[in-house]
Amino acid sequence: MTMPMTDARLSAMTAMATEELMRLAGANADGGELVVGVAEPDSPSTSWRRLSVSKFLEIPVEGSEWTLRLSSHVAGMIREETARFPNVETGGLLIGSCSSLMKTVTVVDLIEAPEDSVRTPTLFVLGTKGMKNRIDARFEESGRSLLDVGTWHSHLAEQGPSPTDRKTAKQVAVERAPPAILSHCHSSHVPCHHASGRAMNDYLDAYSIKARLAPAALAIAPVIVLIVLAFNWVQPSLPEAIIGLAVMVLFFAASNVARRLGKRKERQLFATTGGRPENRELNHLDKTLDERTKDRYRKFLAKQLEQPAPTRDMEVEDPDEAAAFYVQCYNWLRENTRDTEKFRILFNENIAYGYYRNLLALKPYGIVLNLLTIAAAAAIIYYKPDFACCRG
């Protein structure tokens, strides 16, 4: 109810609303209804308006317990958009809301791709021109309730998510706040038969905690210790509460900062050491693995790539061509070993690499924070400010 009323009027409207609910519960409709009751100010009567709501399309979000709920209106808009571009991939932005309690992302509207978007038969790149203003305007129009929850795009062929899709979904999950949905569909089918992304409770997964948050926590640990020791936590006041909240936010922000600095440090290392380390274990001339094991691995990968593996003579005569084959092998392995449960040992090695890379990148910042913390601690001890627990 959105207006003050007497108990009698409230009881009357509640009774009518109950009858409407009982009617809907007994109906065998493929959808639902939105029933709005309006009480006349100078009359005991209530006028009711019924709005039909079509059934939502429900799609499981890959890799989580979450569900994407797509309105029939949005599904129709996606069909129309794909029909406009039958020979290239197209897409747009998903608008809706998220419920961490129900583990659902509900999409009720779309924003069309801006004019600077790129459409090709094998790739769609969503543009950015004017997009922020359109998102903000839609947010205000909805009473500040509908958000940008992700993107969608079409595929010309019937297929699952491509390696580019998975890479983009992973990048979206890391770089933006949840919910984050990346959905794709086949141009001749019901839209969005697959969705991938990251929802609220998946944001801090094992990799994020161990490889990003842990190095960041080590870097800012001196600051946290100083705050804990210097402030009065026995009888905390508003400043302590604000600081406690700021520390929690700092931990989440530090996780993303650690990743960005780590990637930058990785690029610097590759630039100074001649590029990304080359995998040579499958080469005929490499002695890391025995010849039978290498031969078995090469046969398996050649079958997956549908290409012949290079022989020893081919490696000598055309090393670039042989190297290109092995690059494809390792790319295939990376794309097909992303199941963290099935390939747990590999996943743990990736976590260890990410941890040490990010820790190395944070080293200079950690040293600066240590020096600043020492200076701040000395100032607190010397000046004894009002907020300090050591005062007096």
Write out pLDDT tens, residues 272-293. Answer: 887 777 778 899 988 889 999 9
Coil vs helix vs strand at 176: coil
Q: Where is average pLDDT lowest: 31-45, 102-116, 296-310, 360-374?
A: 31-45
Residue 169 is predicted with a pLDDT of: 63
Q: What is the rounded average pLDDT of the residues 167-192?
A: 53
Q: Fill in the DSSP letter of residue 138.
A: H
Residue 109 host element (H or E): strand 104-112
pLDDT band at 361 (very low <50, low <70, confident <90, very high): very high
Note if the pTM is more than 0.75: no
**Strand 67-70 to 104-112 pairing:** parallel
**Which position has the token pair 């709501």?**
53
Query: Mean pLDDT of all residues in the chain?
Result: 79
Beta bridge partners, 92, equal 112, 152
pLDDT tens-place string over residues 135-158: 889 888 988 888 888 888 888 766
Amino acid residing at 183: S
| Better pLDDT: 82 or 166 | 82
- Note the Cα 375 to chain centre separation in Å: 39
Coil vs helix vs strand at 52: strand
pLDDT tens-place string over residues 341-351: 788 888 889 89
pLDDT band at 183 (very low <50, low <70, confident <90, very high): low
Among 38-52, 171-185, 196-210, 225-239, top mean pLDDT goes to: 38-52
pLDDT tens-place string over residues 201-253: 444 567 778 888 889 888 888 888 887 777 665 566 666 667 667 777 777 77
Q: Fill in the DSSP letter of residue 310.
A: P
Beta bridge partners, 37, equal 48
Distance CA 366, CA 364 (A): 5
Distance CA 178, CA 208 (A): 14
> With DSSP H G I counted as helix, E B as strand and the rest as coil, what are the percentages for the chain, rounded to 5?
50, 20, 30
DSSP string, 255-270: HHHHHHHHHHHHHHHH
**Which position has the token pair 């790129």?**
118
- Note the Cα 77 to chain centre separation in Å: 24
Residue 21 is predicted with a pLDDT of: 77
pLDDT band at 11 (very low <50, low <70, confident <90, very high): confident
Q: Torsion-angle region of residue 267: left (phi > 0), alpha (psi -120 to 50) or beta?
A: alpha
Distance CA 48, CA 36 (A): 6
pLDDT band at 358 (very low <50, low <70, confident <90, very high): very high
pLDDT band at 200 (very low <50, low <70, confident <90, very high): very low
Distance CA 219, CA 253 (A): 13
pLDDT tens-place string over residues 243-272: 667 777 777 777 778 888 998 998 888 888
Coil vs helix vs strand at 150: strand
List CB contacts of 34: < 8 A, sequence separation 6 or more. Answer: 50, 51, 53
